[in-house]
Amino acid sequence: WRAAGSVPELTIAEIEAAHKHGIEISKAQRIASRGLVDAIGKTPLIRLNKLSEETGCEILGKAEFQNPGGSVKDRAALYVVENAERLGQLRPGGTVVEGTAGNTGIGLAHVCRSLGYRLVIYMPNTQSQGKVDLLRLLGAEVYPVPAVPFENPENYNHQAKRHAERLENAVWTNQFDNIANRQAHIETTGPEIWAQTDGKLDAFTCGTGTGGTLAGVTRYLKEKSEGRVKCYLADPPGSVLHSYITSGGKLTERTGSSITEGIGQGRVTDNLQPDIHLVDGALHISDEKTIEMVYRCLDEEGLYLGASSCLNVVAAKEVAEKLGRGNTVVTILCDGAYRYADRLFSRKWLGEKKLLGAIPKNLERYIVL
């Protein structure tokens, strides 16, 4: 028997290994005594063999698709909930409310079931029935509401906030501007990458939705390496952050769009403030390059990845080429292709998006839907 929340001690060997790598022993690195939530993180770092050979660099991807909810967002989900517990905003039997149509909802659903909280999700009613069904079967209460812009008080984010305000013992987790999200990556993703590479990495790159991953990992790696590790934003079309960084801080109107779900941003979120200024540069990655990499990762590495992961891999390759042979570049493999297969591997969808031409001839056999 163990009191709730207590964790077993580590073995001497585990402590020595942790010390050797200079990592703090957090709860997440101990035995999963609290159940599923302790299985979040500690993901492998996978060498992308073909791209490493091609560039003469080590290109490594953090396998975030191995988290229980299948994405990098499990880490943020756990941290925003634990932060609310610590602040006394959430007590046993409480309710978590969020506005999301994507991986954060799935991460929160697992975390809330595991810790015993109710979960309420607001999302625009333009989202697929599949997403609604999945969240409901994971135990969430889902409210699809009219898809109106952020400025409109009926926007799903504002409705989520008001729902939480109406309830006792409830919290709106507010993933975009809640910096507990970034903290997850300062305390877990960053230290894991450092330990797994023995600190011998030269660069890090990834895309941004809330900005939690980019800001948190960048903050940790910059601090730990005393500024040596170079960090780059990878941005899809339709996001304003690339031009924000390359213009030295000017925000432009959002124009264009991308097939890449979960990333691309129209503003500098609180999670990105002020750490976005720590990045060394930004790369703009086209949908053509991203979709080609979806097929290449599958064929060359056996990796079945979503588009944001593959945009990150393209960025890692371009950073490697820029830095030259012998460098080690790390990126994030955010999630798998499972939830996007009906689009990414569909001839009709690729045709509609004018992306059929981006698939190399020898990889067309993967277009099976």
Query: Which residues bind to ligand PMP, rule: CB under 6 A?
Result: 71-73, 102-103, 207-213, 261-263, 306, 308, 334-335
Which residue carries 């020898």 as its tokens? 362
What phi-psi label fits residue 238: left (phi over 0), alpha (psi between -120 and 50 degrees) or beta?
left
Closest CB to ligand PMP among residues 60, 263? 263
Rounded least distance, CB 223 to ligand PMP, Å: 19
Give the span between the Cα atoms of 74 and 68, in whole angstroms.
7
Nearer to ligand PMP, 244 or 327 (CB): 244
> How far is it, in rounded angstroms, from Cα 22 to Cα 336?
30
Nearer to ligand PMP, 53 or 133 (CB): 133
Phi/psi for 150 (5° steps) reads -55, -35
Residue 61 CB, shortest distance to ligand PMP, in Å, is 13
CB of 213 to ligand PMP, least distance (A): 3
Which residue, 334 or 350, is less far from ligand PMP as judged by CB?
334
Rounded to an integer, what distance in angstroms lies between the CA atom of residue 230 and that of residue 225?
10
Structure tokens at 364: 């067309």
Given the complex with ligand PMP, which of 97 and 334 has the nearer CB atom?
A: 334
Q: How far is the CB of 133 from ligand PMP (least distance, A)?
A: 18
Cα distance between residue 169 and residue 116, in whole Å: 13
Interatomic CA distance for residues 208 and 215, integer angstroms: 9
DSSP track, 107-127: HHHHHHHHHT-EEEEEEETTS
Residues noted as catalytic: 73
Q: Which is nearer to ligand PMP, 55 or 283 (CB)?
A: 283
Q: What is the dihedral of CA 293, 298, 299, 302, to 10 degrees?
A: 140
- Cβ-closest residue to ligand PMP? 262
Q: Read off the amino acid at residue 228.
A: R
CB of 140 to ligand PMP, least distance (A): 16
CB of 271 to ligand PMP, least distance (A): 7
- Concatenate the DSSP letters of all residues of 245-306 into one string: HHTTS---------S-TT---SS--GGGTTGGGG--EEEE--HHHHHHHHHHIIIII---B-
How does 237-259 read in b/e, with b if 16+ C-beta sit within 10 Å? bbbbbbebbeeeeeeeeeeeebb
